[in-house]
């Protein structure tokens, strides 16, 4: 398949692997920020191939995983209200809140619909004027332009029965939180390629200057990942800390201006609670006040969940160590609950069920003991 | 609450606003029921020998070993590229008989209809049932019809039970699988699941997939005629895809199944859709594609036999059976060490980004 197979070429992948091995004089600790990268690394066993050369710590870049439990609880509560239909991406439906997931809520009679695109939810609202359609908008800067466009489309159509329950997150503030944590071990970052498609990487130039840590903007195929790792290792070996674009077929320094404009028309930067992190300053987006009629938390009078501490309390009392996993302090396979009390059928936390979750990646690709 | 637009979603039939609809009265055993059965259902689906459905059909079996199976069918949308609920409800049951080693002979047909279903949809689905039954040379000999209030079912549910006669040789089953056996598939993987998913989602993926929905009886027959005694197990890889079948076989045999990614037959459309949606074709449903375990010495002969069947030109050896290893299923990709292939816990859900 064009534009995929070229970037999975085994011969070139092995050549890059050997170059990484030849370049590293010691073991370096890198974090791949995005959950999609985690899955690719484990799917191809790159973590195994580089054992002793590069330790890969898995980052927080799974939008579903970092969504605050309180936000999911709000979504479930809305879905149970009469004449409300809650729509979201399939990935979001299995993620547990404090009392089950949107899927279990649907089994309990809540009105929950899976959509492929936020615009599908707008269309549904248009055809069903008697229903209040709420789209649960989760995701990084990658997804925010699409949900913003949905809102603008609803506004253009004059729909009064469409709103967004927003839990969008921004990736760079979380990286800043991670690197400043006292127990941080990360020496270089593979930045999330698809986030950078939207935002560009100019902002990262400040980040590398401030924290003296190399950043490689990295894609998702084997060659992309190995190129990003090689770049970071080369920088570390020569004592350099710069931003390099290793995903230039998709990413430009200034990003996608049209997408940025759409985000800015609809959203403003806000503090947001991240699962595992707590409140992250500038860590998310909220709907601008002038568009609040499309904000589900305003329309349905939900208590603000942007900065509450409910999630932290819940996590404290549960056995789930998602916070440690999401901040790179714990590998999923080191968690005492992994594959024991925590399985895809009975997840203790989101990383076990999201398709980009680190625990799900280990559940899928990490060898089991003998049968 | 169902709107007209929901009924017509992806439905190839034009439905006018005043179209005749099925009402609860059609299910209440009185005149309307009788007329629905005698005017709409029987003329379409009843076989020549069973023109009226009595309480129990009398049939004459040649052999004495019978296979009996039943399967309920629901699919949303009812019409998808490459098939519809009607043909699916025949093929599904016929295929269960075929992979068990039986010749499909008789079917029963039970309809649960949602009040308000446009009659023209029911008629179209029944015509499709009849066509598929003729193709599979199976007679529909008994049936039942119920109409339930709006919302109790999603349009139309069809249950078919099948009776078949066993033919020799019968594959012994997954317990007989041995180290060294080869794993074959009869065609490209995941076509049905992607066809339904794209029809359901309403997203436009150019020619993403046409369902493989069809009878596997000719495929099984070709195998039995050529390498029958060397077959270990045959299954149609429906929900859960090829992965679900192999997980079961691994449990039954206590062995590890190792697949080679480069050998998996996958159409460009399915591959593209899976890449886009974050799915793995090994987990996606098929409706007319079988998985076969066979003695390695006869694998090539089996492939030759399979490829002689129309539509099976991409039949392939996709893996082999090994002693129990790191996982019930493992996969060799073009790059990196063999990795476990896990079993999904529920339906595949598309990812966010």
- What residues in B contact A363, CB-CB < 8 Å? 342
Interface of B with A in 56-115 (CB under 8 A): none
* Minimal-distance CA residue of chain A relative to B337: A45
Contact A221, A44 (CB under 8 A): no
Q: What confidence category does residue A307 fall into, taking pLDDT thresholds of 50, 70 and 90? A: very low
Residue whose C-alpha is closest to residue B108's, from B68, B154, B135, B153? B68
Q: How far apart are the first and last CA of chain A?
A: 35
Q: Is A3 exposed, middle or buried (0-12, 13-18, 19+ CB in 10 A)?
A: exposed
- Chain B 275-334, CB below 8 Å of chain A: which residues? 275, 277-278, 324-328, 333-334
Q: How far does CA B30 lie from the centroid of its chain?
A: 35
Compute the distance between CA of residue A41 and CA of residue A52 in angstroms, rounded to an integer: 15
pLDDT reported for residue B236: 96
- Residue B221, C-beta contacts closer than 8 angstroms, at least 6 positions apart: none
Which three-class secondary structure state does DSSP give residue A79? helix
CB-based contact (8 Å) between A4 and chain B?
A: yes
pLDDT reading at B29 higher than 50: yes
Please tell me the distance from the alpha carbon of residue A49 to that of residue A41, in angstroms, as a whole number: 10
Least confident of A166-175, A231-240, B5-14: B5-14
Which residues, numbered 60 to 119 in chain A, qualify as contacts with chain B under a Cβ-Cβ cut-off of 8 Å?
Answer: 63-64, 89-94, 114-117
Question: For the segment A269-279, what is each residue's pLDDT rounded down to a tens digit?
Answer: 999 999 888 89
pLDDT in tens, B92-108: 999 999 999 999 999 99
**Residue written as token pair 């409706």:** B287
Interface of B with A in 256-275 (CB under 8 A): 256, 268, 271-272, 275
pLDDT of residue A371: 38
- Tell me which residue of A180, A197, A179, A196 sits closest to A188, measured CA to CA: A179
* Residues A243, A216: Cα–Cα separation, whole Å: 6
Interface predicted TM-score of the whole assembly (ipTM), two decimals = 0.78
Query: How far is residue A41's CA from residue A27's CA, in Å, rounded to a whole number?
Result: 17
Provide, as residue numbers in chain A, all residues whose Cβ is less than 8 Å from the Cβ of B325: 370-371
Distance separating alpha carbons of residues B206 and A305, to the nearest angstrom: 41
Q: From chain B, pick out residues whose CB is under 8 angstroms from the CB of A49.
A: 336-337
- Please state the pTM of the whole predicted model: 0.85
- Please give the pLDDT value at position A98: 86
Both tokens of residue B171? 């594959």
Q: How confident is the model at residue B1 (pLDDT cuts 50, 70, 90)?
A: very low
Cβ A291 vs Cβ A81: under 8 Å:
no
Residues B137 and A278: their CA atoms lie apart, in Å, by: 65
What span, in angstroms and rounded, lies between the C-alpha atoms of A57 and A59? 6
CB of B233 within 8 A of CB of B177? yes
Query: Has residue B204 got a pLDDT over 80?
Result: no
Predicted confidence (pLDDT) at residue B205 exceeds the cutoff of 70: no
Cβ-based contacts of A343 with chain B (< 8 Å): 345
Averaged pLDDT for residues A167-171: 96
| pLDDT tens digits for range B264-319 | 999 999 999 998 887 899 999 999 999 999 999 999 999 999 999 999 999 999 99
Q: What confidence category does residue A367 fall into, taking pLDDT thresholds of 50, 70 and 90?
A: confident
Question: Per the CB < 8 Å rule, is A48 touching B336?
Answer: yes
DSSP 8-state code for residue A342: B
Q: Are strands B79-80 and A267-274 parallel, antiparallel or unpaired?
A: unpaired
Torsion, CA B184, CA B91, CA B99, CA B157, rounded to 10: 110
Rounded Cα gap, residues B185 and B174, in angstroms: 15
Q: What is the mean pLDDT of residues A321-333?
A: 88
Predicted local confidence at residue A369, as pLDDT: 62
**Helix B268-277 and helix B191-201, axial crossing angle in degrees, nearest 10:** 60
């Amino acid at each position: 398949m064009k534009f995929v197979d070229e970037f999975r070429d085994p011969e070139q992948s092995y050549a890059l692997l050997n170059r990484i091995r030849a370049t590293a004089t010691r073991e370096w600790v890198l974090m791949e920020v995005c959950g999609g990268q985690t899955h690719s690394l484990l799917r191809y066993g790159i973590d195994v191939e580089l054992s002793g050369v590069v330790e890969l710590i898995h980052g927080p870049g799974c939008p579903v995983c970092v969504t605050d439990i309180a936000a999911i609880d709000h979504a479930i509560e809305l879905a149970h209200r009469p004449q409300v239909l809650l729509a979201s991406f399939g990935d979001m439906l299995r993620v547990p809140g404090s009392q089950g997931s949107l899927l279990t809520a649907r089994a309990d009679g809540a009105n929950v619909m899976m959509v492929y695109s936020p615009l599908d939810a707008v269309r549904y609202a248009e055809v069903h004027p008697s229903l209040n359609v709420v789209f649960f908008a989760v995701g990084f800067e990658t997804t925010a332009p699409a949900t913003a466009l949905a809102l603008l489309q609803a506004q253009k159509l004059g729909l009064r029965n469409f709103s967004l329950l927003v839990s969008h997150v921004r990736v760079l503030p979380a990286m800043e939180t991670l690197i400043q944590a006292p127990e941080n071990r990360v020496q270089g970052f593979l930045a999330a390629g698809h986030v950078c498609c939207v935002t560009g990487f100019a902002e990262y130039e400040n980040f590398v200057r401030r924290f003296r840590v190399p950043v490689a903007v990295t894609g998702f195929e084997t060659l992309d990942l190995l190129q990003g790792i090689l770049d970071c290792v080369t920088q570390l070996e020569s004592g350099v800390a710069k931003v390099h674009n290793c995903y230039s077929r998709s990413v430009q320094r200034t990003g996608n201006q049209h997408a940025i404009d759409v985000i800015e028309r609809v959203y403003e930067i806000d503090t947001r609670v991240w699962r595992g992190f707590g409140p992250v300053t500038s860590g998310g987006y909220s709907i601008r006040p002038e568009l609040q009629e499309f904000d589900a938390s305003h329309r349905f009078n939900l208590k603000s969940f942007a900065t509450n501490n409910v999630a932290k309390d819940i996590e404290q009392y549960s056995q789930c160590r998602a916070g440690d996993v999401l901040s790179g302090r714990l590998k999923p396979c080191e968690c005492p609950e992994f594959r024991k009390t925590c399985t895809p059928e009975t997840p203790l936390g989101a990383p076990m069920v999201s398709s980009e979750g680190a625990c799900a990646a280990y559940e899928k690709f990490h060898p089991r003991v003998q049968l | 609450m169902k709107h007209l637009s929901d009924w017509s979603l992806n439905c190839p039939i034009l439905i006018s606003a005043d179209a005749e609809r099925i009402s609860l009265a059609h299910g209440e055993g009185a005149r309307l029921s009788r007329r629905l059965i005698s005017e709409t259902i029987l003329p379409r689906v009843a076989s020549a020998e069973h023109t009226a459905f009595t309480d129990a059909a009398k049939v004459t079996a040649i052999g004495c070993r019978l296979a009996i199976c039943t399967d309920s069918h629901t699919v949303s949308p009812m019409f998808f590229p490459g098939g519809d609920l009607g043909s699916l409800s025949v093929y599904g049951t016929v295929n269960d008989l075929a992979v068990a080693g039986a010749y499909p002979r008789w079917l029963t047909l039970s309809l649960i209809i949602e009040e308000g279903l446009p009659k023209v949809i029911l008629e179209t689905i029944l015509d499709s049932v009849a066509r598929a039954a003729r193709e599979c040379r199976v007679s529909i000999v008994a049936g039942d019809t119920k109409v339930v209030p709006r919302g109790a079912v999603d349009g139309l549910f069809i249950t078919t039970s099948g009776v078949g006669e066993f033919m020799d040789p019968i594959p012994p089953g997954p317990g007989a699988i041995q180290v060294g056996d080869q794993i074959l598939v009869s065609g490209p993987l995941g076509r049905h699941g992607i066809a339904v998913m794209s029809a359901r989602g309403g997203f436009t993926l150019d020619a993403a997939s046409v369902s493989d929905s069809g009878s596997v009886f000719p495929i099984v027959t070709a195998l039995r005629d050529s390498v029958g005694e060397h077959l270990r197990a045959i299954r149609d890889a429906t929900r859960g895809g090829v992965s679900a079948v192999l997980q079961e076989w691994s449990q039954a045999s206590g062995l590890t199944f190792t697949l080679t990614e480069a050998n998996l037959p996958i159409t460009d459309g399915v591959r593209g859709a899976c890449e886009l949606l974050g799915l793995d074709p090994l987990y996606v449903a098929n409706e007319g594609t079988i998985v076969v375990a066979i003695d390695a010495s006869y694998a090539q002969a089996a492939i030759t036999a399979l490829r002689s069947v129309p539509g099976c030109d991409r039949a392939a050896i996709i893996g082999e059976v090994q002693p129990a290893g790191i996982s019930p299923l493992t996969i060799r990709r073009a790059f990196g060490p063999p990795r476990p292939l896990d079993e999904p816990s529920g339906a595949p859900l598309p990812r966010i980004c």
